[in-house]
Amino acid sequence: MATMADPTPTTEQVRAVVADVVGRFLETNPDLGDQAPDPSSGSDGPLQVLAVGSDHGGFHLKERLAADLRDQGFIVRDCGTRSTDAVDYPDIAHEVARKVATGECQAGIVIDGAGIGSAIAANKVPGIRAATCWDVSSARNSREHNYANVLALGAGLLGDNLARQIVDTWLATPHGEPRHGRRVQKIGQLEERYGTRLV
């Protein structure tokens, strides 16, 4: 005799639906509830508005990190994905990078299996300095020395606790000395030299 499947959604399914609804609402009403400073004012000060996205391999970690960030008072723009259904990481990485490059968000976090592909894709967007970090030291260095504005994480290589430590360190680390800034300016000059532009 056939039995009916339990129609009650799981906690993760409910969170995914809520995140989708809230994300769509905030996209159409970006000013509601935002008390953060203007993101275009620069990313060296305290980071308040973050773009966060992942492919299917990073979905669960993205959901946990996004919830933690909201609990800490950050405004999180969820760029997807909304489930564990397969998606292409370049699409998600581009959306996160675009929000940072246009000033809609002050910084971004992209998550896939290894954290490499999303960083490569995000770095194709002019003005983006995405860094894959696997520990606290690389997170600190990427902000202090390279002025990274997008953090890439590999969900398949990091446990939740380490990922949280990396994110917390990355967000708390300011830009370093002017000598680092001079080198970062040269990265921007390379973009100009090869004619890249934001589209």
Residue 104 sits in a domain whose CATH number is 3.40.1400.10
pLDDT mean values, one per 10 residues, the chain (199 residues): 54 52 53 36 66 98 98 96 96 98 97 98 96 97 96 97 98 87 89 71
* Ordered strands of the 150-154 beta sheet: 75-78, 49-54, 107-112, 150-154, 130-132
How many distinct structural domains can be found in the chain?
1
pLDDT at 41: 32
pLDDT at 20: 57
Active-site residue among 56, 94, 145, 175? 145
Q: Is residue 169 part of a domain?
A: yes
pLDDT at 194: 85
Q: Is residue 3 part of a domain?
A: no
Q: Is residue 146 part of a domain?
A: yes
Specify which residues 131 forms β-bridges with: 151
Do 65 and 109 touch, CB atoms closer than 8 A? yes
- Tell me which amino acid residue 42 is: G
Range of the domain at 153: 46-193
Does 145 qualify as catalytic in the annotation? yes
Q: Is residue 5 part of a domain?
A: no
pLDDT at 17: 55
